[in-house]
Amino acid sequence: MSVQSVDTLVIGAGPTGLGAAKRLHQLNQGTWALIDSAPEAGGLASTDITDEGFLFDVGGHVIFSHYAYFDDVIHEALPKDGDWYEHQRVSYVRSKNVWVPYPYQNNISVLPVDDQVKAIEGMIDAAEVRVRAKDAPQNFDEWIMRMMGQGIADLFMRPYNFKVWAVPTTDMQCKWLGERVAAPSLKLVVSNTLNKKVAGNWGPNATFKFPAEGGTGGIWKAVAKTLPAEKLLFKKTVSKVDAAAHTVHLSDGGSIKYKHLITTMGLDYLIDNLDGAQEDIKTLQTAKPDLIYSSTHVIGIGIRGVLPPRIGDKCWLYFPEDDCPFYRATIFSNYSPNNCPQEGVKLPGLQYADPSKGKPDSEPQAGPYWSLMMEVSESHLKPVDMQTILEETIRGCVATELMKPDDVIVSTYHRKFTPGYPTPSLKRDEALAKILPVLADKYDIYSRGRFGSWKYEVGNQDHSFMLGVEAVDRALYGSPEMTLTSPDFVNGRRNTERRLQ
């Protein structure tokens, strides 16, 4: 179907674009359409399936909603109890060859004594620094040193954050952490340590839900189905935005005119492919280099056997040390049994976790099966070898006891996502303050979403969806966009302003 002109055009059918589309559909004000280069909805919140039938998301996706409107929408899309599994958040940090319950600093009693001493000494120093400090910390590293001190910085925060962000903590700002993150209680840490106590990690009712079918991508395909199919146009790639003419050009030669444009493409891509007044393009191009990202490799492993009790209760795990390339592993088969093939499905063994054990029987055999999903970051400061990262990851799984050497692997998955994480770099906010107002105020272009507005702290699925919803309200009614402008505010409370009905 071809559309030549609409009042509001949405680019992208990830959570942000679907949020915009949902709001446009609900408000029923003027004409609209949504276009995406992909064949279906989901964006980075999609799910792949291997030839053997194992599902893998784009890394660990857990919903922690701050908005009643978002809850309404996903409930409408997947309304039945059987559509979801509910899980306790059980999360650990692998440190010094033991599992330290999250949050790390409250559970240092499980570490060797000399590390406990380093951690507590550092926290005492940090408390003194906080009392004396006259100004706010200038970067993430200073923030870590003031909040946690040298011991925990070196044991966990610095190495872990380099593995996640692929830039040093000195190159990152700390405003994105928000005012809500309090320093750990020194009293609690010391008493837990002396009493050899392990503190519960997320509080008594910390649960999350995960779709029974189709992984995280199943949510967004279901949300897309609640929208009029004729307004969702897939396999349409935007090659140019003529801002002055309010026209989007497509790679198939087509074009669409709009009054308001809500784009969720990468902001860097938009800037590189924008036509507008010369001085505006210059402003945008000058600010663009301060938008920094890392890539994310997602590596999935399907394993034959029963999920071992040593990791059976765990959801996701953090890895600060260099005995494995990944920063996080998710026990993905724990989220839904449908993330693996059924037990009766017969699959050949591909390899043992430790290949030096020889070759497993290649005759297809029945399950049961379980699965692991790992994330590895990449940047120019932290290169990753595409050819060897799968092998390194499997080796890391054995080194960290996620797998045993004689576990039989029946399926593997590796995909690189570029970009994966929008880096809260030192100059990010300055760059966004130059770019976003020019686009919105001069050209009616609302660039929003994980890479549309480049703010990690409001880059989860619920935030992204609401960035789209709020962009529509801004474009049509001039309403303020709380998620974009006040991340601390939206993250600190439950937003019940908008409802679906």
Ligand X SMILES: Cc1cc2nc3c(=O)[nH]c(=O)nc-3n(C[C@H](O)[C@H](O)[C@H](O)COP(=O)(O)OP(=O)(O)OC[C@H]3O[C@@H](n4cnc5c(N)ncnc54)[C@H](O)[C@@H]3O)c2cc1C
Site residues for ligand X per CB under 6 A: 11-17, 35-38, 43-45, 58-63, 237-238, 264-265, 296, 375, 417, 420, 449-452, 459-462, 464
Q: How far is the CB of 170 from ligand X (least distance, A)?
A: 23
Residue whose tokens read 């033991």: 98
Q: Measured between alpha carbons, how far is 331 from 124 in angstroms, rounded to an integer? A: 36
**Distances in Å between the alpha carbon of 491 and those of 179, 181, 210, 269, 484?**
10, 11, 21, 28, 11
B/e letters for 126-143, b = 16+ CB within 10 Å, e = fewer, are beeeeeeeeeebebbbbb
- Using a 10 angstrom Cβ sphere, with 0-12 exposed, 13-18 middle and 19 or more buried, the burial of residue 500 is middle
Q: How far is the CB of 134 from ligand X (least distance, A)?
A: 37
In the numeric block, which tokens belong to residue 165?
Answer: 């962000």
In the numeric block, which tokens belong to residue 13?
Answer: 């059918």
Closer Cβ to ligand X, 452 or 487, answer by number: 452
Q: How far is the CB of 151 from ligand X (least distance, A)?
A: 28
Angle, in degrees to the nearest 10, between helices 461-477 and 68-77? 110
Q: How far is the CB of 184 from ligand X (least distance, A)?
A: 23
Closest listed residue to residue 15, CA positions, set 475, 437, 458, 414: 458
Q: How far is the CB of 277 from ligand X (least distance, A)?
A: 22
Closer Cβ to ligand X, 335 or 443, answer by number: 335
In the numeric block, which tokens belong to residue 49?
Answer: 């399936």
Closer Cβ to ligand X, 318 or 352, answer by number: 318
**Distances in Å between the alpha carbon of 489 and those of 23, 176, 423?**
22, 12, 21
Angle 469-470-474 from CA coordinates, rounded to 5°: 125
Closer Cβ to ligand X, 146 or 221, answer by number: 221
Who's near 439: CB < 8 A, 6+ residues apart?
243, 270, 284, 445, 446, 447
- Whether cis (ω within 30° of 0) applies to the bond prior to 101 is no
Closer Cβ to ligand X, 250 or 476, answer by number: 250
Closest listed residue to residue 498, CA positions, set 26, 11, 18, 75: 26
Closer Cβ to ligand X, 375 or 407, answer by number: 375
Q: How far is the CB of 373 from ligand X (least distance, A)?
A: 10
Closer Cβ to ligand X, 346 or 415, answer by number: 415
SS3 for 349-380 is: CCEECCHHHCCCCCCCECCCEEEEEEEEEEEC
Closer Cβ to ligand X, 86 or 363, answer by number: 86
Closer Cβ to ligand X, 292 or 347, answer by number: 292
Q: Measured between alpha carbons, how far is 50 from 212 in angstroms, rounded to an integer? A: 18
Helices (H), 3-136: 15-27, 68-77, 113-132
Q: How far is the CB of 488 from ligand X (least distance, A)?
A: 18
Q: How far is the CB of 35 from ligand X (least distance, A)?
A: 6
Closer Cβ to ligand X, 63 or 287, answer by number: 63
Q: How far is the CB of 262 from ligand X (least distance, A)?
A: 10
What letter does residue 253 receive in the DSSP assignment? Answer: S
Q: How far is the CB of 318 from ligand X (least distance, A)?
A: 13
